[in-house]
Amino acid sequence: MTAPIIVGAGPAGIRAAATLLAHGLRPLLIDEAPRTGGQIYRRPPPGFTRSAKELYGAEASHAKSLHATADRVCAQVDYRPESLIWNATSSEIDVLNVPAKVSRTIQWRQIILATGATDRILPVPGWTLPGVYSLGGAQVALKYQGCAIGSRVVFMGTGPLLYLVAHQYACAGATVVAVIDTARFADQCAALPRLLTQAGTFGKGLYYVAALKARGIPIFSGTRPLQVNGQERVDGVRFVYAGKEITLSCNAVGFGYALRSETQLADLIGCNFSFSELHRSALPDCDPFGRSSVKGVYLAGDGAGILGAKAAEAAGELAALSLLLDQGIGGKQQRIRQLQRSLQGALNFRRGLERAFPFPTDWAEHAPDELIVCRCENVSAGELRCVARDTQTHELNRLKALSRVGMGRCQGRMCGTAAAEILAHAAAIPIDRVGRLRGQMPIKPVPFDMTVSTP
């Protein structure tokens, strides 16, 4: 029998692998990173001297526990780190061993996609300057490389990750100039009933805010970012706060608007998608057991919708139990119901977060024509508007074909959200009607000199 495949060794993938292993199955675990942990529990390279407490803060104990589980599991399964899945079909995946530059085609019958998420970006003028990073990129620099993105850093955007990364930088000794949040304090107050359903998680968020304020770091709420200043690199930011324009001096900026799910593999495999109002994006369809619309394909973690690390673990276990159930290995109905209740609670909390840190739906209205939306192809907001209006384009892939937006290295990961917002605004249609950028192979860039090994 073909071994089940798990894509991703973050919280969801590790928990799925541990569950299958506990029931006698030895899955193939494929991960692009050199070490397990995913983004939130990203592990530093060997010889790194910062402690778990310094790296993960309040999550240090849980991170160490997950890493220990990962080490135990990876020693018993077919674990392949530094392996990039760059193509997928309804029966095969193409996997590149990055260090060796060798690609192999692997057959699959059952596959758990725990592909995680990336930053959701809404650009501002100046975002292509050296010294501007996504929040996730700023976090990677700190966790994996032990360095800050600058000596005077501004964090800008909205969402829980904004405060988490700012707090991590402050604790690491970096100078955090300010936190600039587009959400209003009134938004957080309105979200309290849902946020209090997970008091522990909510309390951590309050702690991050309080710790930043205790260090004298100003927090600006209800803002509208205007520009990242600078010529050869960042030297400041400009934004609107309480009706006034404010300029702050800095030499680095970390910014982002929460996260977006990585769904390209599910798309190439043929999963059905539906628009999610909560996530303001199209996501692969998923039933309460983690099954997708394609037989043998299971979805887990942030790749199926952003619910957080603890929920990702629950979803990974649930997907694995559903896979086992479909193989005739049952007897875990009570555990399945517990996991489903846990995920429903996480979904309710996620709705609270969306109320507390709402997506700035007026972003496209204020984006200037000269703003570069797609940095790979150097496509501006004005060009997108002209194409949409001159050709009566109402669909995102048509806009891509006519403007080249999303045709670069990132395959629309960085520009797709912004392009969709610009198109919806220019065409005066709801965001759910513009569609989504279809996944294309190679999902990520691959070297021309790689060796392709056929089965």
Higher pLDDT pick, 455 / 357? 357
For the stretch 395-404, pLDDT in tens is: 999 999 999 9
- pLDDT at residue 424 is higher than 60: yes
DSSP one-letter string for 212-263: HHHTT--EE-S-EEEEEEESSSEEEEEEEETTEEEEEE-SEEEEEESEEE--
Cα 396 from Cα 398, distance rounded (Å): 5
Q: Which of 11, 362, 347 is nearest to 158 (CA)?
A: 362
**Average pLDDT for 366-385:** 97
Q: What is the 3-state secondary structure (H, E, C) of 314-333?
A: HHHHHHHHHHHHHCCCCCCH
Cβ count within 10 A of residue 159: 24
Cα 8 from Cα 319, distance rounded (Å): 13
Instruction: State CA 107 to chain mean position distance.
Output: 27
Cβ count within 10 A of residue 22: 12
For the stretch 6-37, pLDDT in tens is: 999 999 999 999 999 999 999 999 999 999 99
Contact 436, 280 (CB under 8 A): no
Cα 230 from Cα 251, distance rounded (Å): 9
Name the DSSP letter for residue 33: S
The pLDDT, as a whole number, for residue 1 is 57
For the stretch 151-161, pLDDT in tens is: 999 999 999 99
Contact 31, 39 (CB under 8 A): no
The pLDDT, as a whole number, for residue 237 is 98
- Domains (ranges, CATH) in the chain? 5-118+260-353 (3.50.50.60), 121-257 (3.50.50.60), 363-433 (1.10.10)
Contact 149, 138 (CB under 8 A): yes
In three-state secondary structure terms, 77 is coil
The pLDDT, as a whole number, for residue 40 is 87
The pLDDT, as a whole number, for residue 146 is 84
What angle is formed at CA 31 by the lines to CA 30 and CA 36, rounded to 5 degrees?
120
Q: Residue 129 — left, alpha, or beta (φ > 0 → left; ψ -120 to 50 → alpha)?
A: beta
Higher pLDDT pick, 381 / 332? 381
Q: Which of 403, 337, 352 is nearest to 373 (CA)?
A: 403
Give the position of tokens 């050296």: 130
For the stretch 255-264, pLDDT in tens is: 999 999 999 9
- pLDDT at residue 58 is higher than 90: no
Range in 44-48, 214-218, 322-326, 436-440 the model is least confident about = 44-48
Contact 304, 286 (CB under 8 A): yes
Give the position of tokens 């970390």: 254
Does pTM top 0.85 for this prediction? yes
- pLDDT at residue 164 is higher than 60: yes
Q: In sequence order, which residues have a C-beta less than 8 Å from that of residue 340 and are 6 or more positions away? A: 288, 318
The pLDDT, as a whole number, for residue 46 is 83
Longest dimension (CA), the chain: 66
For the stretch 341-355, pLDDT in tens is: 999 999 999 999 999
Cα 300 from Cα 4, distance rounded (Å): 14
Contact 300, 325 (CB under 8 A): no
Cα 391 from Cα 402, distance rounded (Å): 9
Tokens of 345: 């609670």
The pLDDT, as a whole number, for residue 455 is 62
The pLDDT, as a whole number, for residue 45 is 84
For the stretch 226-246, pLDDT in tens is: 999 999 999 999 999 999 999
